[in-house]
Structure 1
Amino acid sequence: MRADRLVAALLLLQARGRVTAFELAEELEISVATARRDLEALSAAGIPVYPQPGRGGGWSLVGGARTDLSGLNAAESQALFLLLGPAGSGDPELSSALRKLIRALPATFRSDAEAAVRAVVSDSAGWGEQDREPPALMRSLRNAVVRRLKVRLEYSGRGGRSTERTVDPLGLVDKDGVWYLLAGTEAGQRTFRVDRVTSAEVTDLPAQRPDDFDLSAEWSRVVAEMEQRRSLVSAVVLIDARFLPVLRSHFGRHCEVIGQDGGRVRARVAAHMARSIAERLAGWGAMVEVVEPESVRAELARIGLELTGRYAKGPDVA
């Protein structure tokens, strides 16, 4: 979780007054690029952290070295706790850390900081869905990543077949409520869905982690590859412009406007199979016209015949 790194970076700045991205990376055992992004995130949130170029430069916390949070003004403390509050809402340890940080503030700022923590709630469940709790194994996996220890996993694949393997944990990612573990294996780097991990045993063996590994950059690469696989088939459709936002909500980044056709928008949508596109569009009826390819049109026709065969005569009456 990046929130704990941001707190650690802030406290390090307060203790030293000035640090370089390299020094922060060494202290927190992260890449220099990640350290630089964390410092930029603090600055963007309104914390008085500024870069100083040139020899002897680095990142400084305006006001000099401090050992507590008493140097923050009211606006800066609110910015910090607005940034960290949602992250701590589901983590008892981080919530405890936030309470301790609040107590370190001047008394006049504490009420506003507490209000900032409560101002934003992160709710990962969609409408009509149950809350999605992090998998029970998260604590073990998180500790293995931090301590750089190998993990023996029992993993259930797509076909339900269970396999055992020993991996080098590299990082954990929360993707819309679903957790993924990036890890090194004998076959190279792999991505595991944590909810398919049936057991995880942290060993005493040191894990291998590339010195230049950047979790954010690596996850972006994984997402790009996955999105490419999910969009192997595309279709051109015509739709009334007022319904375009709804179409985009169905296809996400795989919906692209490519032109106009009279009073309608011409768009390209994509998925991993022609059948998947047809299934998403079938509920639109005549509101969407598929121009091409023929494979998607044929799938829509098949779905239409199935529905007609079942419902055209109406319900059976005993």
Structure 2
Amino acid sequence: MSNTAIRYLTMLRMVPRYPRTITTGELSQRLEEQGYSVTMRSIQRDLEKLSVEFPLMVDESSRPHQWSFDRETTMDIIPALDLPAALTFELAQAYLKPLLPPRALSHLKPHFDEAHRTLLRERNPLGQWPNHVRVINRGLGGQRPAIDADVLETVTEALLREYKCQLTYQARKWPEPEAITVHPLGLIFRDPNVYLIGTIDGREGIRQLVLHRATTGELLEEPVDRPEDFDLDFYIHSGAMGILKSDKPVYLKLRCDKPALNHLIESPLGFDQITTEIDEDTFEIAVTVGDTQDLRWWLTAQALHCDILEPVWLKEEIANTLQQGLARTRQTLVE
């Protein structure tokens, strides 16, 4: 392949999809960084020539001209999308569609469409995969809160570039929305919500911001002040996402029924879980978990199939919750 052809391919890869754009000056600078010394006039001629074969768009009303690819285009540049890659896109679409707003997904739509065409085109059992697979989320399946697409784009760009962002945010306990400056540290998708983890100027500690409560977002080109000891995985496993009741971990010991709770053997509650077979109907587990509200909800729901052996204070708390629930149910029956 000639050096010119390689330069053409390199340049095409630098042109973003609409609504993002790039100028000939920016292309010249980036090509220079790649070892190609080309004048802006030559780049302009190259783009005009390539636009005959590729879906390139130019905004001639601006100076300098702004170039981009058509929003709906798919690029048929080798390597072509193969079956495993097409299948991956199909599965990604199935998982992401319930989580992200339509405009956020629209950036991937051309790839999803191409993947679907590839699977239909190929005479291969994988081509029928979408007809045999469904994604079902656990829980009651209630409608997910809508997230403003501009807010999500602002937050994701701020995370990737490690910049601050400003959000108009309405916390549950705040009397009215406030403009806050956020230092984004991570994004967590926890059905049914999307959480921005970060710090807020003027407030202490790591915060969880539920994105559907933000109505506007603006990227601030100022570097994030990131705590040196912050680790997103450690933050999650500390129990912070389960509504912490205290910072102290809980050493939990349960006696569980088979087969109702066999999934605990396959999917341990924690890294240090120890499982002991008692008999053909029972097993015990010992594990360190976060002291969270989620833990209490789970223990309450599983009361029919497990006994809390330790700690005693948690056993008493769950028993009290169940007694109150039973009393309320009986009162309703009487009425």
> Within the alignment, does 1:288 sit opposite 2:287 as a pair?
no
- Distance in 1 between residues matched to 2:291 and 2:166, nearest whole Å: 32
Partner of 1:225: 238
TM-score under structure 1 length normalisation:
0.54
- Distance in 1 between residues matched to 2:170 and 2:142, nearest whole Å: 23
TM-score under structure 2 length normalisation:
0.52
> Within the alignment, does 1:195 sit opposite 2:173 as a pair?
no
- How far 1:133 moved relative to its partner? 5.9
Aligned residue identity for 1:87: A
Q: Secondary structure of 1:193's match?
A: strand
> Within the alignment, does 1:256 sit opposite 2:266 as a pair?
no
Say if 2:300 and 2:318, in contact at 8 Å, map to a contact too.
yes
Unpaired stretches in structure 2, ≥5 consecutive residues? 1-8, 14-32, 35-74, 98-104
Partner of 1:153: 167
Larger radius of gyration: 2
Unpaired stretches in structure 1, ≥5 consecutive residues? 1-10, 16-25, 28-66
Q: Deviations over 1:223-273 (max 9, x none)?
A: 233359577234322123323225679984489344233552112364526
- Distance in 2 between residues matched to 1:88 and 1:287, nearest whole Å: 37
- Correspondence list, 1:1-318, <5 A: 68-72=76-80, 77-88=82-93, 90=97, 91-99=105-113, 111-112=121-122, 115=127, 118=130, 123=135, 125-126=137-138, 128-132=140-144, 135-136=147-148, 137-145=151-159, 150-157=164-171, 159-160=173-174, 162-169=177-184, 172-183=187-198, 185-186=200-201, 190-195=206-211, 197-203=213-219, 205-208=220-223, 218-226=231-239, 232-245=249-262, 252-253=269-270, 256-263=273-280, 264-268=282-286, 270-272=289-291, 280-284=298-302, 287-303=305-321, 305-306=323-324, 309=327, 315-316=333-334
Q: Secondary structure of 1:81's match?
A: helix
- How far 1:179 moved relative to its partner? 1.7
Compared CA separation, residues 140 and 272, structure 1 to 2 (3 A):
same
- How far 1:289 moved relative to its partner? 2.6
Q: Secondary structure of 1:79's match?
A: helix
- How far 1:281 moved relative to its partner? 3.5
- Distance in 1 between residues matched to 2:129 and 2:208, nearest whole Å: 32
- Distance in 2 between residues matched to 1:188 and 1:87, nearest whole Å: 36
- Distance in 1 between residues matched to 2:166 and 2:115, nearest whole Å: 36
- Distance in 2 between residues matched to 1:149 and 1:286, nearest whole Å: 49
Q: Deviations over 1:41-71 (max 9, x none)?
A: xxxxxxxxxxxxxxxxxxxxxxxxxx95444
Cα RMSD, aligned residues only? 5.0
Q: Secondary structure of 1:207's match?
A: strand
Compared CA separation, residues 180 and 243, structure 1 to 2 (3 A):
same
Say if 1:171 and 1:183, in contact at 8 Å, map to a contact too.
yes
Partner of 2:23: none
Q: Deviations over 1:150-170 (max 9, x none)?
A: 422233345345543223446
Say if 1:152 and 1:167, in contact at 8 Å, map to a contact too.
yes
Compared CA separation, residues 257 and 241, structure 1 to 2 (3 A):
farther
- Distance in 1 between residues matched to 2:144 and 2:331, nearest whole Å: 42
Say if 2:165 and 2:184, in contact at 8 Å, map to a contact too.
yes
Aligned residue identity for 1:202: E
- Distance in 1 between residues matched to 2:304 and 2:116, nearest whole Å: 57
Q: Secondary structure of 1:242's match?
A: coil
Q: Deviations over 1:177-234 (max 9, x none)?
A: 432324465478845434354333315x4131589x9xxx943233233359577234
Say if 1:82 and 1:120, in contact at 8 Å, map to a contact too.
no
Aligned residue pairs total: 246
Compared CA separation, residues 293 and 71, structure 1 to 2 (3 A):
closer
Residue identity over aligned pairs, in percent, reads 15
- How far 1:132 moved relative to its partner? 2.8
